[in-house]
Structure 1
Amino acid sequence: MKAFVHEGKKGMDGARMKEMDEQSPEKGEVRVKLKTAGLNHRDLFVLEKHGEEDPALVIGSDGAGIVESVGEGVSRVSIGDEVVINPSLGWLDKSDAPPDTFGIVGLPGHGTFAEKVVVPEDNLEQKPAHLSWEEAGVFSLAALTAYRALFTRAQVKEGDTVFLPGVGSGAVTFLMMFAKAAGVRVIVTSRSEEKRQKALELGADKAIDSEEDWEEALKDEKVDIAIETVGAATFNKTLKSVRKGGTLVTFGASAGDEVTFDLRSFFYGQYNLLGSTMGSRDEYQEMLQFISEHNIKPVMDTVYSLENTKEAMMHLSEAKQLGKIALKIGE
């Protein structure tokens, strides 16, 4: 089968199309003939994390397609079902933190940038009827991450004000749409005027230029929850935006893992700092129900063919997209 893999050199130099053997599903596993897949920033990180001496790895975490074959004991899906892939492996029940068995599709096991993929049956759900194939193949990782951060961790409620720096990424765009569907006031930031305008069109109540003084821009706001997805470069600016007694949720560190902040101001301000990552199968199913009830669809940026995956990855690396980048794989 055709697949986009990483092997040998670190980074994009080790990424290419390659013919790979099809895997056969074992007990409890399912082989899906993929129609579409979606890109995430994680795919860029995998190009650096995957070992130079390791065998070729099919990358990619998001995908949707049709069940082609099933292993022994499979009962949750049947051959011919239209399904979406939950990329969160080994985390079934909603819990305070993922179990030690937690992993993500696309490293260390093969991912979705291929004509076919084998995954556990527990990681498949029926494709939401309101989504096209392109939409169904791109939303899972970002939407699940956004759902847990906003609802399970932050415990957002109607009437809250939520601050979302860095609108344009898939996760932040879903956070914005989920929050608006829940009756929340949403404030976003972006360096791009185009992205700020698009966010307002999608329902954001206020859009701030990332280069502005956030304290000044938010002086008349009462931010109950801020969700930080960038890391060290913006962490303190985001924390300062939150009202005393408010909550900061963080699940991103692309701009640095380590931060320094004023501990005394933090505890006198009675702030809540919460970490989050991905989510459980329970939350994935809740999220699917939520997007179906509210007719929420991923914002689409560009659709590439599987053969043009490297071009798609380069586009993602430039961080100019608004919404999700898709790969069209099957007819």
Structure 2
Amino acid sequence: MRAAFASRFDADNPLAALTVGEQPEPAHPEDDWVTVQVRASSINHHDLWSLRGIGLGADRLPMILGCDAVGTAPDGTDVVVFPLVVDPGDPRGMSILSEHFPGTFAERVAVPRMNLLPLPAGLSATDAACLPTAWLTAWRMLTTKGRVDEADAVLVQGAGGGVATAAVALAVALGKRVYATSRDAGKRERITQLGATALEPGARLPERVDVVIETVGEATFDHSLKSAAPMARIVVSGATAGHEPKVNLRRVFAMQLEILGTSMGTPGELTELLTFCAEHEVRPVVDSVVPFGRIEEAFARLHSGAAFGKIVIDHTA
């Protein structure tokens, strides 16, 4: 079957390690696994990290990439694939598709039956394919970890990427005052169109916020601390600009701040997110929809840093 996979690693030029070609049909490690015909998927930075050799061992090459998918189950129903798989061989007890088990950038993918969630009416395959990784991470950051229901104002650092842009859209839909930073003037304009107040990195906010969504890391963390109201939650799911920031511990304890780490979410949280998006007519911010035959172009756009929102792969085109 046709697939996009990591054939080797290249830390400096991950695009050179991407191969599109034939791969074996999906195998079923256990009896409760099923094969899904993939209709749409979306790219995450995790896929570029895999091509660099981060989180993926050479002994698992070639590895089909991709975490997110919407497709058709064996019984003909439309399903969203939850991408985390129970994995006794991983220290965390589970792994994401494309780490130990082949991913979703293929005509078909095998997953445990319990990982299949119904596609809600009103959500297209291309929209729903954006949700299982980046949007689920943002949802968990805001709700489970950030307790945004107790908040009035939210700061999202580095909006433009998949998780941060999702956090902006979701926080606005949840009725919060949202501030978001970006170095790019064009992205700040797009952020404003989503209903948030767009700011340059490090800019003083009109008010302190109750929840900070932090995916940037070292470059923005001091600003996150200074922007936090007493007893605020700073929720961290990434460190794209440095993972060892200096932290003013006096500010942390004096302001009673919570610094919380998270990644991904649970099947229940993904179900909540799917329902929320369907019922409130919230749609993912989609940068572009690319036919599978041009998937190399999709990877190149993500790697360039120019994308605003999610890049979706249409497997039917």
Give 1:54 deviation, angstroms.
3.4
Residue number in structure 2 paired with 1:291: 277
Q: TM-score, structure 1 length as denominator?
A: 0.88
Match of 2:31 in 1: 27
Aligned partner of 2:213 in structure 1 is 227
Distance in 2, matches of 1:199 and 1:130, equals 25
Conserved 8 A contact 1:7-1:52: no
Cα distance in structure 1, aligned partners of 2:222 and 2:208:
17
Map residues 265-276 of structure 1 onto 2, 5 A cutoff: 265-276=251-262
Question: What's 1:16 paired with?
Answer: 19
Correspondence for 1:36: 40
Question: For residues 133 and 162 of structure 1, do their structure 2 counterparts lie closer, same or farther at Cα, with a shift above 3 Å needed?
Answer: same
Alignment-mate amino acid for residue 322 of structure 1: F
**Does residue 195 of structure 1 match 2:181?**
no
TM-score, normalisation: structure 2: 0.92
Task: Give the deviation of 1:107 after TM superposition.
Answer: 0.9
What whole-Å deviation, never above 9, does each CA across 1:269-324 have from its counterpart, x for those lacking one?
A: 21111111111111111111211221111111112222222221111011111111
- The change in CA–CA distance for 1:159 and 1:280 in structure 2 (over 3 A counts) is closer
The amino acid across from 1:152 in the alignment is T
Q: Is the 8 A contact 1:159 1:185 kept in 2?
A: no
Look up the equivalent residue of 2:85 and give its one-letter code.
L
For residue 159 of structure 1, report the CA deviation from its aligned partner. Answer: 5.5
CA–CA separation in structure 2 for the residues paired with 1:82 and 1:286: 17
Q: Does the alignment pair 1:45 with 2:31?
A: no
Instruction: Name the aligned partner's letter for residue 36 of structure 2.
Output: V
Given candidates 173, 178, 185, the residue that maps to 2:165 is 173
Matched, 1:139 2:142: no
SS of 2:149 mapped into structure 1: coil
What is residue 256 of structure 1 aligned with on the other side? 242
Say which SS state the counterpart of residue 98 (structure 2) adopts. Answer: coil
SS where residue 89 of structure 1 aligns? strand
Q: Which residue of 2 aligns with 1:243?
A: 229
CA shift for structure 1 position 100: 3.6
Contact 2:6/2:64, CA 8 A, preserved across alignment: yes
The farther-off stretch of 109-118 and 119-128 is: 119-128
Q: Where in structure 2 are there 5+ consecutive unaligned residues? A: none
CA distance in 1, matches of 2:39, 2:246: 45
| 1:227-254 residue CA offsets vs partner (Å, 9 max, x unmatched) | 1001122111222111232221111012
Paired AA for residue 280 in structure 1:
T
Q: What corresponds to 1:207 in structure 2?
A: 198
Which letter maps to 1:238? S
Q: Which string of whole-angstrom CA distances, capped at 9 and with x for unpartnered residues, describes residues 34-63 of structure 1?
A: 111100111111112233453310001011
Aligned equivalents of 1:227, 1:9: Cα separation in 2: 31
8 A contact 1:139–1:324 mirrored in 2: no
The equivalent of 1:57 in structure 2 is 63
- 8 Å contact kept, 1:158–1:183: no
Task: Provide the secondary structure at the position in 1 that maps to 2:277.
Answer: helix
Could you tell me whether the CA contact under 8 Å between 1:29 and 1:118 is conserved in 2?
A: yes
Q: Which residue of the partner structure matches residue 3 of structure 2? A: 3
Question: How many percent identity over aligned positions?
Answer: 36
Alpha-carbon deviation of 1:193?
2.1
Separation in 2, partners of 1:238, 1:317: 26
Aligned counterparts, 1:65-144, within 5 A: 65-68=71-74, 79-90=75-86, 100-144=92-136
Aligned residues: 309
Say whether the 8 Å CA contact 2:230–2:257 is kept in structure 1: yes
**CA distance in structure 1 between the partners assigned to 2:97 and 2:247 by the alignment:** 34
**Does the 8 Å contact 1:158/1:182 carry over to 2?**
no
